[in-house]
């Protein structure tokens, strides 16, 4: 009997040593840690359903009282507040015909699995790899996602990263259409779109979330794009019909990269949308047209896009009215996680601009707190933009100490995030 106990103890000790050695392996640590964290988040979210949170802010308007845009000459880049300096070429009067079917040979494929919210780095890496860049999605993430818990990468962050790579440029436009995407692809330029698909979340619920997707081909005969989808698979057949609604929820935003010496080629392929102000004006008209023919959650996105395009055109008063209506449409939706796009402010910050620059600081704080930070407070609320805007609103209301705390938290989630650094500098603090 004693011999059996000794043998059992020896076997257990050996297994313990092996298990400990395996846990020291970074790959296994990453996988086990990811799954453990997933189960913890499931429990916390089950106790506090995020779809129950309303978005009410201000007084709603009706479609017939949509604000007419008061357009200024410059547009803005998200968070930085700096005007874009884009070349404005003469738009091409016509475009050369393109084939009904076309496929580019993609670069390297990167999956986002076993990494949190990694479609931004993965798609940036895939887009760059097409042009001969030899880094990985982790190479990108070390710059634009230094904290692994960061919930979202903004389009401008991807564009800025690509523009910082030697010999490579990138631009972003909104209000896109399938013809533009296909024209770019057929002329040798793969395109990343930002969209809102319905995926199964970690609770196995169908729910709306933001996602980037690289398109490298299309087929008009069967009606699909060829996508290098970091969440699904390489060479995924993304149907036109499905993509249309998903893309709408992000204002039909797309990103294209190119060698520096081919910038004019891309601008010419964009036609009048090469001009940033013209592009935002066209997108505004597109959103307005859709508002009158959509309903339910799609109408919410229509109003939201209308507001976002007014923000891009610096008409903050009109944008605030449009967002008020969008949030009224949201609050009228069923409290169903498969219907309500409750993560919208994790990905798009236009309402913060609109309400802040119209003096509605309390609304900024309310939205940043209730519909962003507190919504994920048990799951590391790594949303640096929300902390920035809440801090900025607190400064405007004279709550300096609270604001400084928000700016510092912002930098914990995104080290070196310039808006928060500048905000602290304005308070005489140099972290």
pLDDT at 149: 86
For helices 240-248 and 297-312, what crossing angle results, to 10°? Answer: 60
Placement of tokens 């494929």 in the chain = 109
Q: What is the DSSP string of 124-179?
A: HHHHHHHTT----HHHHHHHH--STT-----HHHHHHHHHTSTTEEEEEESS--HH
pLDDT at 3: 56
pLDDT tens string 102-129: 999 999 999 988 787 899 999 999 999 9
Contact 189, 131 (CB under 8 A): no
* Alpha carbon distance 255, 170 (integer Å): 7
For helices 361-368 and 384-396, what crossing angle results, to 10°? Answer: 150
pLDDT at 18: 59
Contact 292, 306 (CB under 8 A): no
| Residues of the chain under the 70 pLDDT cut | 1-93, 201-203, 376-379
Tell me how far CA of residue 239 lies from CA of 108, 119, 209, in angstroms.
22, 20, 18
pLDDT at 200: 76
Give the bridge partners for 226, in sequence order. Answer: 217, 237
Placement of tokens 């993304």 in the chain = 238
**Helix, strand, coil shares, percent, the chain, to 5:** 50, 10, 35
Strand ranges (E), 292-371: none
Q: What is the DSSP string of 350-383?
A: HHHHHHHTTT-HHHHHHHHIIIIIGGGGGG----
pTM above 0.85, yes or no: no
Strands 198-200 and 191-195: unpaired
């Amino acid at each position: 009997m004693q011999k059996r106990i000794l043998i059992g103890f020896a076997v257990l000790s050996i297994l313990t040593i092996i298990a400990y050695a395996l846990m020291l392996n970074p790959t296994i640590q990453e996988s086990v840690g990811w799954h453990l964290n997933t189960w913890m988040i499931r429990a916390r979210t089950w106790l506090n359903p995020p779809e129950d949170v309303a978005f009410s802010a201000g007084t709603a308007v009706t479609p017939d009282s949509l604000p007419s845009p008061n357009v200024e000459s410059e547009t803005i880049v998200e968070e930085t507040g700096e005007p874009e300096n884009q070349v404005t070429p003469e738009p091409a009067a016509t475009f050369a015909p393109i084939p009904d079917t076309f496929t580019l040979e993609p670069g390297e494929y990167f999956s986002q699995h076993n990494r949190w919210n990694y479609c931004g780095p993965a798609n940036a890496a895939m887009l760059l790899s097409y042009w001969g860049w030899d880094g990985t999605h982790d190479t990108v993430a070390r710059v634009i996602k230094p904290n692994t818990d960061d919930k979202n990468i903004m389009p401008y962050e991807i564009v800025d990263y690509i523009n910082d790579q030697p010999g490579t440029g990138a631009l972003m436009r909104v209000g896109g259409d399938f013809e533009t995407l296909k024209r770019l692809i057929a002329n040798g330029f793969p395109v990343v779109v930002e969209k809102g698909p319905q995926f199964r979340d970690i609770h196995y619920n169908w729910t709306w979330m933001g996602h980037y997707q690289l398109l490298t081909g299309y087929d008009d005969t069967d009606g699909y794009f060829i996508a290098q989808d970091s969440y699904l698979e390489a060479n995924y057949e993304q149907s036109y019909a499905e993509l249309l609604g998903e893309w709408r929820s992000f204002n039909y935003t797309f990103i294209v990269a190119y060698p520096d010496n081919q910038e004019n080629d891309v601008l010419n392929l964009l036609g009048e949308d090469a001009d940033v102000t013209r592009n935002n004006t066209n997108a505004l008209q597109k959103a307005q047209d859709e508002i009158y023919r959509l309903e339910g959650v799609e109408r919410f996105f229509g109003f939201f896009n209308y507001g976002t395009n007014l923000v891009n055109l610096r008409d903050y008063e009109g944008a605030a009215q449009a967002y008020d209506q969008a949030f009224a449409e949201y609050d009228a939706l069923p409290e169903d996680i498969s219907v309500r796009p409750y993560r919208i402010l994790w990905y798009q910050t236009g309402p913060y601009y609109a309400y802040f620059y119209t003096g509605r600081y309390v609304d900024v704080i309310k939205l940043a707190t209730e519909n962003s930070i507190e919504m994920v407070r048990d799951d590391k609320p790594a949303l640096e933009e929300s902390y920035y805007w809440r801090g900025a609103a607190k400064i405007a209301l004279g709550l300096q100490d609270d604001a400084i705390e928000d700016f510092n938290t912002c930098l914990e989630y995104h080290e070196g995030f310039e808006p928060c650094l500048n905000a602290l500098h304005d308070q005489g603090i140099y972290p």
